[in-house]
Amino acid sequence: MKKSIKALAVLTLAVGAFLIFGAWLFGLPRGTFIDGVDVGGMSRAAAVAAARDKKIEYLKSKELVICAGQCVYKFTYPEFNFSDDLPEVLSSVRKKGRYFSHTQIYLNGAERIAENICASLGRPAVEPYATFNKAGQPFTYFEGSDGIAADKAALLKDISLSLNGDFCAVDVRTEVIARKKSIEGVKRETSQLCKFSTVFDCSNAARSSNIVLACSKINGSVIGAGQTFSFNDVVGARTAANGFLPAKIISGGRFVEGVGGGVCQVSTTLYNAAVLSGLKIDEYHPHSLRVSYVAPSRDAMVSGTYFDLKFTNTRSTPVYVRMSASRGSLVCTLYGADDGVKRSFISSIVGTLPQPEDVIMDGEAGIISHGREGTLSEGYLVEEREGGTTRTLIRKDKYAATPTVRGACAEDEQDGVGCTPEDGGNPDGGQKPAAQPQN
């Protein structure tokens, strides 16, 4: 009995499978249409092929056009193709009627194509900027340009809508990427902060050469936000190998020939410009004696690798340095973002030191060098803001007194052997502690 039941069940399944398979292989009911194609009497396999042939014929007559600015991209079958569910639809047909499959037309490699088209059409925004010049106009300004961004997601969507619609042309959607800065803002960040100048004796060829050389090494420097400027690092060693010439310096309390004389006037000029621009002074050193090219408490001596001038740009934007020396004028101009503070530097002499007794030395009769009193001075930085004015003591200095030096036979004073008037008794315009030559 059980064997009979099992045999009957197997037979039933076999008959059902045969009927389904037969229905797929053999003819569909007359009057059956699939996607508008008459497939009555066809096997289901033949019906699928006939319906797909009709779709291919339709696609071969179409063209996908994508417009991207001045470029036009065209695609034809089989660059685009389709997928459908015809087998599933036909397997469910039991009687005549009109049936429709779900057909999806797609562009082969659509992701890559859309990405490449968008990349060719898009461009980044170029912000306005300025280039810093060592000569002539300090800056050359560029307006920049807005950018363009192509919408890849929208392009893919529009391609699909066109392929599965009426094949209308697709325009790539773009949006403008606006510049974040304005040229006016760039100009505000490159305003003149300070212009400070000193004078020198251009007839002193060696000293003038050293000043010009040091200026040329500094000119064009850009101090980034938060960066520290080191005079010694930028100018380098004052040696003959680096192009510096011998000129008068002070060493051991006497005027002697030394390589690099005059460079201290460059560091002093730069120091004053840095102070008046609101930069943070990290290191400076006064001369041991007063110099004539700036008031007391406004000098900044450099020497060797031990005495440096350092200052830091505390702004969030760069500071630009222009330095030049010509026709006896040494000029330092700093540019950057104006912080709205007006600054001035006050030098105040608060005392003097008596001049020592004359020193008699072997030599030709006459005054070898004139002496002078020493000076006690203070330097104040005055800052004017909208909220008021502040006066801050930023340094105190002591400049030594010097004796008059006479020749051993100088019973009658004679002038004419002293230092150049421009340096006020110091041939190189610099002064030093006795232990270290000053440029």
pLDDT digits (tens, 9 = 90+) for 382-424: 999 998 999 999 999 999 998 988 887 544 443 332 223 233 3
Bridge-based pairing of strands 254-259 and 280-283 is: unpaired
Per-residue pLDDT tens for 19-64? 444 444 568 999 999 999 999 999 999 999 999 999 999 999 999 9
Encode 349-383: b = buried (16+ Cβ within 10 Å), e = exposed.
eeeeeeeeeeeeeeeeebbbbbbbebbbbbbbbee
At residue 387, the pLDDT reads: 87
Beta bridge partners of 310: 230, 283
Per-residue pLDDT tens for 187-245? 999 999 999 999 999 999 999 999 999 999 999 999 999 999 999 999 999 999 999 99
CA dihedral 292, 297, 301, 305 (to 10 degrees): 180
The residue written with tokens 């064009």 in the block is 220
Residue 313: pLDDT over 90 = yes
Neighbouring CB atoms inside 10 A of 26's CB total 11
Contact 347, 276 (CB under 8 A): no
CA distance 364 to 405: 11
What's the length of the chain?
Answer: 439
Q: How high does pLDDT run on average in the chain?
A: 87
Cα-based angle 199, 313, 188 (whole degrees, multiple of 5): 85
For residue 327, the number of C-alpha atoms closer than 13 Å in the C-beta half-sphere is 0
Regarding predicted confidence, which is higher, 350 or 257? 350
Segment 157-181 mean pLDDT: 96
Whole-prediction pTM? 0.74
Segment 90-101 mean pLDDT: 94
At residue 246, the pLDDT reads: 86
What is the band of 247 on the pLDDT scale with cuts at 50, 70, 90? confident
